[in-house]
Amino acid sequence: MKKLVTCLLLLAFAKTLTAQQDPQYSQYVYNPIVVNPAYAGNRGVASIVGLHRSQWVGLDGAPRTQTLSFQTPISNSRVGLGLSIVNDEIGPSEETYVSVDFSYTIPVGDQARLSFGLKGGVHVLDVDFTRLNIFDIGDFRVTENVENKLSPTVGLGVYYHTKKYYLGLSSPNLLQTDHFEDRNDNSSATYIASERRHLFGTAGYVFYVNDAIKFKPATMIKLVQGAPLQLDLTASFLFNEKLTLGVAYRWSAAVTGLVGFQLSEQVLIGFAYDRETTELGNAIFNDGSYELFIRLEFFNSYDRIITPRFF
């Protein structure tokens, strides 16, 4: 069984490296700066978000993701700044993204704002093939580990919002970088990984049901060459500005339950549980996917958000 699981992981890993690579999140509505630099500073206060995701718990070598992001508006200006760190592990590979975010916001109406963002940073790739059960120990592709393989990242984004809805379009990395090891037999290079461009579209709307309840449908669309279109649909209710309950559906992939609680004016915590709707969801070694996050916000006396935004 162990060899079977390892083989399946290796196949999934190979597919991941050549197709869809960026980590996925069920609670994407709380941390959009990771994929869209134009969001930097748009909450109006300094904000830190930490998130951990364990995917397909029980499956050896399954994906694990940690993100840490910081963003803040610059006082008396239209500029927002941010910093994002993403660590993603799957099987024998570990990828780390460190990027700095810059945004510039233009008022386009009484309550509407249009922001443009730029993301720049570095991507670090490590692959430890000793963590696999190698069937062919003479395979040159798995004889040398990849250590601290660096490549630059450059991304762009645009973000439009009012008090009731938002729209976003972004690509966190426009550069397509190939990681490879040259063979010694004068044949063509063999690519271990190829960074594909990802395009994200996000949208959400807040309906005020009554004074105590807000309803927000939201969506994220991910498009990447070589992988199926990924569509996330989310519906959340906010009760008395404190408790958030929601459900989400990842098209042909998973269903999700979401809960969040505003512990104080500065602290929001959240939890999500995914259950696969594919054959993988029926596997006895798959206990689903878990996601935890915490958001800390720092207010000045003059920029306190009296009615917290739902996005």
Q: pLDDT in tens for each of the 311 residues of the chain?
A: 344 344 434 434 443 333 445 778 899 999 899 999 999 999 989 999 999 999 988 878 889 999 999 999 998 899 999 999 999 998 888 899 999 999 999 999 888 999 999 999 999 988 877 766 665 555 555 567 777 888 899 999 999 999 899 999 999 989 876 655 544 455 555 555 566 788 999 999 999 999 999 999 999 999 987 778 899 999 999 999 999 999 999 998 899 999 999 999 899 999 999 998 877 766 666 788 999 999 999 876 445 444 446 67
**β-sheet bridge partners, residue 202:** 168, 220
Q: Are 259 and 244 in contact (CB under 8 A)?
A: yes
Closest to 242 (Cα-Cα) out of 269, 276, 218? 269
Phi and psi torsions of 29, nearest 5°: -65, -20
pLDDT of residue 195: 65
Q: Where are the domains of the chain?
A: 2-182+189-298
Coil/strand/helix, residue 290? strand
| Sequence-ordered list of residues with C-beta below 8 angstroms from that of 163, at least 6 positions apart, any chain | 111, 206, 309
Torsional sign, CA 26, 40, 116, 160: positive
In Å, how far are 65, 170, 228, 267 from 197, measured between CA atoms? 19, 11, 14, 34
pLDDT of residue 18: 39
pLDDT of residue 243: 97
- Hey, what are 180's tokens? 């490879």
CATH, domain range 2-182+189-298: 2.40.160.40
Q: State the Cα–Cα distance between residues 46 and 209, nearest whole angstrom.
A: 29
Q: State the Cα–Cα distance between residues 5 and 206, nearest whole angstrom.
A: 43
- Hey, what are 152's tokens? 């630059």
pLDDT of residue 6: 43
pLDDT of residue 281: 62
For strand 198-205 and strand 165-171, is the pairing parallel, antiparallel, or unpaired?
A: antiparallel
